[in-house]
Amino acid sequence: MAELFTTLARAIASEVTRRADGDGNVPRSATFEIQQAAGQHVQRLFLGRNQRGELAPFDTLINGAVIPLSPYMRQLWESIRAAVRIPVEQNAVILTNKLPADVLSVMRGAVRNPFVVAKGENRTDRTNETYMSYGSYKSYNLVSEQVFRPNPLAVYDAPHEWVDPNGYRLSDRVWNSAGMTRRHLDLYLDTAIREGRGALQMSRELERFLVPGRTLTTNKPYSTNASYDAMRLARTEISQASQRAHIASAAMNPFVAGMKWNLSASHPRYDICDELAKGGPNGDGVYEIATYPSRPHPQCLCYSTNVMVDTATSDSLIDELRLDIQSARQEFVNLVGPVQVEAFERLLLGQGLTIERSGLGAVSRVIVSPVVPVVPAVAPVVPVAPPAIPPAQLARRRIAEIEQASRARLAQVDAEIERVRKVLSDLSLNMDKLEQSLAKRAGTPQEAQIRAALDRQKAARRGLFDERRALRIERDVIEQERIIRTRGAVQVDRPARLTMNATGIDDAVRRHWQRSTDEFSRLVSADVAPMRPVEFRELANGRAHYDPNTRAVNVAATTREDTVVHELGHWLDNHSPEVQRKVTAFYNRRTQGYALEPLGAGFDASEMTRRDKFLDPYMGKIYSDGATEIVSMGAEYFYNQTARMAMEDPDMFDFIFNLLRGL
């Protein structure tokens, strides 16, 4: 946020400088023009154009996914996403550690949307249904219970759909913050120009006035910090999203008995939060999930923690869940919950639904993984039906949506860059004419007037250079976000968490290799990766490689992350006979009918490949012992070219996606 407002401050400072005279003074007549230009910069920070050409902070796709349209909204939404994911992961760890394998496997195959189910179960024509309500798995009479204590899932709305006590949604709140920021700026600019402050002084003041964490020492009516409203909104939204996600996650965790209100370490003074921390039935700040208080004021940074059931209750809950599975009811275990981290996170953010219609109306199901049907018997639960939509196909759909949204944003930025280029071109022509005119009229009364006009043009050009640089930075940010988001679509729910053996290696190099190893771990399920450390050896020269004889990854201190991920693919292939079997079958199917041929320029004459229609001929490389580059190149593409593989070679994408998950 500080970087965003720093860029805004410099853009507005360039508008002021552009209109200043040769002595740096800003004429009163330029006030309205500067305010209008500053307003445009504020608008671009908070708002963008949606698919209908309307100004908005974000757009939504047909599946409910939020597509931020402005720099401020992109930063805010990424922070909201991170805040939502944390409580989901925390409850997923609890469930994974406490649930037996048979119950856990059924929950991982759940397909029903718990929020839609909870909203449907608020009807008064259904009684004595078994469902999950505020932390204990019991039968409740829905007519009486939900009148006084509504199911937390039934009242949940995604962060961008949640309506605050004033009746505003997130879009309205961002619009309001943009308006308040502009009003503060208008007042500042009007006062500063009227009081005769120079362009240099105003440039310094604008940065203190706009950048969070800095304040302008003044008693003027324009306040001391123009970004206050935007920062307050960000803190409030992130905190609110985190708390509401925690309540929903805890409601789907049968081992959570309640939630405790904890004061923030930065709590400044005694207020209602102190009362809440001493509230609840026992006066200890512990509440039932359904009655857990909402945030009492903006910028509340208090936090919640789970209160777990005792051991005896925990054991009985497991028995109830297992009985529920065996009797084919599945009222609770068939609801998508925190154990499916990615799917539940998407539900909390308002996306990832497939609506199916029947004669009884619309029923929302979440297509996230193979459906695991349960037969009414004591025998183990076994899958008997394929998934409605394979997980790999769902991942490709999500990647396509991310790509589409990124392309739309890039088109907007490219259009702005082109606009700036044209203005710069016209400005350069005008400056050339002024330079020629200045040379002709040197020593005449018109010289000073022409020179002042030329100086204004130079200041305008500097401002345009700054704007173009900011747009190029924004373009790079969009590209980086695209890579991170598409990579996230193929990361697993239960990463491998590989460890390293790197004896005698410098700490900085070790950290670099560990970061690369962590990136690989996020692509591979813990069920697939062998439970043994990876041997790393530092390479003084030559090409990075995996040595099957020593079973060591040989890389240099500066080897790029994607190359380390590539070599770890060889390590996985070499250590898992099941992976080798699947890879051999895939390679033979793909390369059937293709003869061996040299890889060509840049490679040793002994390096041979079967080209097929691989994205890179190196993917078809085969070694004398039968080893291939399928897993290594697949992992590398998942890390840095995810979208390209998803769209241009869906067959290999699906194979690698399923292989790394053990499907």
Same domain, 587 and 638: yes
Evaluate if residue 561 carries a pLDDT over 70: yes
DSSP per residue over 450-482, as a string? HHHHHHHHHHHHHHHHHHHHHHHHHHHHHHHHH
Same domain, 425 and 539: no
Position 366 scores a pLDDT of: 47
Evaluate if residue 146 carries a pLDDT over 80: no
Domain that holds residue 433: 390-482
Residue type, 272: I
How many whole angstroms from its chain centre is CA 161?
18
Position 536 scores a pLDDT of: 94
**143, 149, 151, 152 alpha-carbon torsion, rounded to 10°:** 170
Position 639 scores a pLDDT of: 94
The arithmetic mean of pLDDT across residues 80-94, rounded, is 87
Same domain, 470 and 508: no
Is residue 182 assigned to a domain? no
Evaluate if residue 368 carries a pLDDT over 80: no
Same domain, 305 and 336: yes
Is residue 593 assigned to a domain? yes
pLDDT 10s digits, 472-494: 888 888 888 888 889 989 998 88
What predicted TM-score, i.e. pTM, was given to this entire model?
0.51
pLDDT 10s digits, 383-430: 444 445 788 999 999 899 999 988 888 998 899 999 999 998 988 898
Position 355 scores a pLDDT of: 36
The arithmetic mean of pLDDT across residues 608-622, rounded, is 91
Domain boundary among 365, 382, 399: 382
Is residue 180 assigned to a domain? no
Across-strand partners of 98?
none
pLDDT band at 356 (very low <50, low <70, confident <90, very high): very low
Same domain, 582 and 613: yes
Same domain, 360 and 426: no
Position 564 scores a pLDDT of: 94
Q: Which residues contact 513 (CB under 8 A, 6 or more apart)?
A: 500, 502, 505, 536, 555, 564
Is residue 85 assigned to a domain? no
Position 267 scores a pLDDT of: 65
> Which percentage of the chain shows pLDDT scores above 90?
19
Evaluate if residue 537 carries a pLDDT over 90: yes
Domain boundary among 455, 482, 509: 482
Is residue 315 assigned to a domain? yes
Is residue 136 assigned to a domain? yes
**What span, in angstroms and rounded, lies between the C-alpha atoms of 256 and 10?**
50
Position 217 scores a pLDDT of: 55
Same domain, 135 and 280: yes
Other Cβ atoms within 10 Å of 263 Cβ, number: 15
* Tokens of residue 360, six digits: 């009884």
- Pick 298 or 371 by higher pLDDT: 298
Distances (CA, A) of 8 to 46, 360, 411: 11, 53, 21
Q: Could you say which DSSP state residue 297 is in?
A: S
Same domain, 314 and 266: yes
pLDDT 10s digits, 269-328: 777 777 787 888 888 888 887 778 877 777 677 878 878 777 767 677 777 776 666 654
Same domain, 547 and 434: no
Position 153 scores a pLDDT of: 76
Q: Could you say which DSSP state residue 123 is in?
A: S
Evaluate if residue 116 carries a pLDDT over 80: no
Residue with structure tokens 């009148």? 147
Same domain, 571 and 431: no
pLDDT band at 100 (very low <50, low <70, confident <90, very high): confident
* Tokens of residue 17, six digits: 């400088």
Secondary structure class of 661 (helix, strand, coil): coil
pLDDT 10s digits, 34-69: 888 898 899 989 998 877 777 889 888 777 788 888
Position 540 scores a pLDDT of: 84
Other Cβ atoms within 10 Å of 203 Cβ, number: 19
- Lowest model confidence (mean pLDDT) among 221-235, 339-353, 362-376: 362-376
Same domain, 527 and 641: yes
Is residue 456 assigned to a domain? yes
Domain boundary among 482, 511, 529: 482
Same domain, 454 and 547: no
- Count of domains in the chain? 3
> Which percentage of the chain shows pLDDT scores above 70?
84
Is residue 229 assigned to a domain? no
Question: Does residue 294 contact residue 156 with C-beta atoms inside 8 Å?
Answer: no
On the 0-12 / 13-18 / 19+ scale of CB atoms within 10 A, 67 is buried
